[in-house]
């Protein structure tokens, strides 16, 4: 007997669902695409429990008549293709005919619709892929789709879903992309009877950018524009001094569709080459229009990947357009750490430049040789005293003589240490960062991570995606001493803060947190998230390159290095902390050997 079988439609649809529908955000994306194709001018999204319990999407589009409604939950049924030739002239967002059957196969769903001008509407239900009959009903013009109990019949897939805040973070990201690409559509998003955002239609996309990312970013954006026969590009890019630790603020849209494309990413990177520090990412909002015959959008089920007929031409167009926009901009001189410019500081590379002259002795806890910190003191097992160390020392310029050892700072960034074998050149930020990293871990392991209860809680307003992301790591934040609560729409309240970060305000740290966390960090589980949080804490609390240190501060830093020397070769990011040169190397270099 043969082994090859024809799979039943129920299994086929579940397989398709595995490719298309991996979480609530994927359902929202597919259904919004259908609403946009239906010429909707208003799209309302309502969710319960992060979409796991209920997703309801309503639109005022053209609607679906009863005859078509009987087919929408069946595989590969679509109104957007008639022949194979149509695949090379795609002008819609959805066209495969897989989304609704896939969604219906893993949920209990209902579609209610009324075409424009009709007296009544119709509805159809499906329960785990079992399609019911169409029946007449009253309904407003347009379409409403309800998806309940997502993955109720695929428990393995359901286990992969995250908490409601995490799912809402993904959904907010999806809605943000659609809102940016379609500023003429009114979008609303509500979760558990609370409005997340309400976005009336606007004339220009830059107004939506301001809504999501703030007026400071809008103020600095540069316009990018190009029009050719088969290609056009318009959008906004940020000057190099506004940058990110990840690519989360790189939005690329092609023919109204959000995409990810390596050639375009490479063009963006090349345009900013030499203008950004390593591992920093520019901020771009690009809207490309390409003749449908010049691009294949049928590469991937989710349609986020595309294939250009001539990739090199697209690459060159994007590269030249971005370079022109950057070259036309006037150079801006900005101090990225002054209080008046916290936005620039937060987006800039704050671990490498800091022009503050505040003494490290006053800012950061270092171990002293006389007294221990009281129990309520910092979590780094730090000792403090105002007494000078009892030893004979002389300071000559920035050079410090202490017994047989000499330390001195060069360029306000590096410490030179004389050793018996030669000398060490030490990156002061990297060294302090790894010292604080181990101190924080030690405090967490001993459950002695001192936190300070804020007399007046601090409020931090975020965009929807970042708001739900911060809520999704609430438990981990409490583990490092940051206690937060929801406070109104897209606002969190900070009630306590770790003492090691006492020189940062809560808003500054939370915003840095959302900038530095990438999607891959969120997928690493509790241990990965905690490690990332400790990394960020240590980085933000450590002294910066560009900060002048007093001799006592340098000496205490070096004493701390001696205490944990086995762990100080690299900072938490993997950068080396020390360059060692032996006497033999020095003698050979100067031809003395």
Identify the domain boundary among 183, 201, 219.
Answer: 201
- Does the model's pTM come out above 0.85? no
Q: In this predicted structure, what is the pLDDT of residue 246?
A: 83
Find the DSSP H helices in 193-303. Answer: 205-213, 215-220, 262-271
Identify the domain boundary among 155, 179, 201.
Answer: 201
Coil, strand or helix at 570: strand
Q: Are residues 482 and 498 in the same domain?
A: yes
Which positions of the chain have pLDDT values less than 70? 1-3, 5-7, 9-19, 78-91, 94-97, 298-302, 330-405, 446-449, 518-524, 565-566
Answer whether residue 334 is part of any domain.
no
Contact yes or no for 49/168 (Cβ under 8 A): no
Identify the domain boundary among 142, 166, 201.
Answer: 201
Q: Are residues 197 and 252 in the same domain?
A: no
Q: What angle separates helix 428-445 from helix 551-563, to the nearest 10 degrees?
A: 50
Q: Are residues 303 and 264 in the same domain?
A: yes
Cα–Cα distance, 227 to 311 (Å, whole number): 17
Answer whether residue 556 is part of any domain.
yes
Q: Are residues 68 and 87 in the same domain?
A: yes
Answer whether residue 288 is part of any domain.
yes
Answer whether residue 588 is part of any domain.
no
Answer whether residue 4 is part of any domain.
no
Number of domains in the chain: 3
Q: Are residues 375 and 410 in the same domain?
A: yes
Q: Are residues 60 and 167 in the same domain?
A: yes
Q: What CATH number does the domain containing 274 carry? A: 3.30.230.10
How far from 42 is each of 28, 38, 59, CA to CA, in Å? 15, 11, 6
Q: Are residues 187 and 253 in the same domain?
A: no
Answer whether residue 398 is part of any domain.
yes
Structural domain boundaries, residue 193: 9-201
Cα–Cα distance, 14 to 106 (Å, whole number): 7
Cα–Cα distance, 300 to 484 (Å, whole number): 40
Q: Are residues 265 and 379 in the same domain?
A: no
Conformation bin of residue 49: beta by default, left when phi > 0, alpha when psi is -120 to 50: left
Q: Are residues 296 and 162 in the same domain?
A: no
User: Which DSSP category does 561 fall into?
Assistant: H
Instruction: Please provide the size of the chain in residues.
Output: 593
Q: What CATH number does the domain containing 78 carry? A: 3.30.565.10
The per-residue pLDDT for range 228-268, each reduced to its tens digit, is: 888 999 999 999 999 888 888 999 999 999 999 999 999 99
Q: Are residues 37 and 184 in the same domain?
A: yes
Q: What CATH number does the domain containing 549 carry? A: 3.30.1370.100
Q: In this predicted structure, what is the pLDDT of residue 569?
A: 83
Contact yes or no for 24/51 (Cβ under 8 A): yes
Answer whether residue 584 is part of any domain.
no
Answer whether residue 187 is part of any domain.
yes
Q: In this predicted structure, what is the pLDDT of residue 317?
A: 94
Q: Are residues 384 and 508 in the same domain?
A: yes
Q: Are residues 159 and 55 in the same domain?
A: yes
């Amino acid at each position: 007997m043969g082994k090859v079988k024809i799979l039943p439609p129920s299994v086929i649809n579940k397989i398709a669902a595995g490719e298309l529908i991996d979480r609530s955000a994927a359902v929202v994306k597919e259904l919004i695409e259908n609403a946009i194709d239906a010429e909707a001018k208003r799209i309302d999204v309502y969710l319960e429990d992060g979409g796991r319990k209920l997703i309801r999407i309503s639109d005022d589009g053209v609607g679906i008549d009863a005859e078509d409604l009987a087919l929408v939950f069946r595989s590969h049924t679509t109104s957007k293709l008639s022949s194979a030739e149509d695949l090379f002239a795609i002008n819609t967002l959805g066209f495969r005919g897989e989304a609704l059957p896939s969604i219906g196969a893993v949920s209990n769903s209902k579609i209610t619709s009324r075409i424009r001008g009709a007296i009544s509407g119709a509805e159809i239900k499906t329960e785990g892929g079992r399609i019911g009959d169409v029946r007449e009903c009253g309904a407003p013009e347009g379409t409403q789709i309800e998806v309940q109990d997502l993955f109720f019949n695929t428990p393995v897939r359901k286990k992969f879903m995250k908490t409601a805040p995490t799912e809402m973070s993904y959904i907010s990201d999806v809605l943000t992309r659609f809102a940016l690409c379609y500023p003429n559509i009114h979008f609303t998003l509500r979760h558990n009877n609370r409005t997340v955002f309400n976005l009336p239609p606007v004339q220009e996309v830059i107004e939506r950018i301001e809504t999501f990312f703030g007026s400071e970013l809008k103020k600095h954006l540069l316009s990018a524009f190009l029009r050719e026969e088969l290609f056009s590009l318009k959008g906004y890019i940020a000057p190099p001094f506004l940058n990110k630790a990840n690519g989360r603020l790189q939005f690329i849209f092609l023919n109204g569709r959000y995409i990810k494309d390596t050639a375009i990413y490479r063009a963006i990177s090349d345009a900013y080459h030499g203008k950004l520090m390593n591992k920093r990412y520019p901020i771009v909002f690009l809207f490309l229009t390409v003749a449908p015959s010049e691009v294949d959008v049928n590469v991937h089920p989710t349609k986020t990947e595309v294939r250009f007929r001539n990739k090199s031409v697209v690459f060159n167009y994007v590269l030249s357009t971005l370079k022109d926009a950057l070259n036309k901009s006037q150079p801006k001189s900005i101090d990225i750490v002054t209080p008046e410019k916290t936005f620039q500081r937060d987006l800039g590379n704050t671990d490498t430049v800091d022009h503050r002259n505040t003494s490290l002795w006053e800012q950061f806890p270092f171990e002293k040789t006389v007294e221990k910190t009281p129990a309520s003191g910092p979590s780094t097992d730090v000792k403090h005293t105002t007494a000078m160390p009892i030893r004979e020392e002389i300071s000559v310029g920035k050079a410090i003589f202490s017994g047989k050892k000499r330390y001195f700072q060069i360029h306000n960034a590096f410490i030179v240490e004389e050793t018996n074998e030669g000398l060490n050149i030490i990156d002061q930020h990297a060294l302090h960062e790894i010292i604080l990293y181990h101190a924080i871990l030690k405090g967490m392991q001993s459950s002695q991570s001192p936190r300070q209860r804020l007399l007046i809680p601090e409020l931090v307003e975020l965009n929807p995606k970042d708001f739900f992301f911060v809520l999704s790591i609430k438990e981990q934040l409490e583990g490092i001493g940051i206690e937060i609560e929801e406070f109104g729409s897209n606002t969190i309240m900070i009630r306590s803060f770790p003492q090691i970060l006492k020189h940062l305000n809560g808003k500054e740290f939370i915003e840095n947190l959302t900038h530095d966390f990438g999607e891959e960090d969120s997928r690493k589980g509790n241990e990965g998230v905690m490690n990332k949080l400790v990394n960020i804490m240590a980085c933000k609390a450590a002294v910066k390159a560009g900060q002048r240190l007093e001799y006592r501060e340098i000496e205490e830093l070096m004493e701390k290095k001696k205490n944990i020397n086995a762990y100080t070769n690299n900072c938490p990011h993997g950068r080396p902390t020390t360059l060692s040169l032996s006497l033999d190397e020095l003698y050979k270099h100067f031809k003395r050997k």
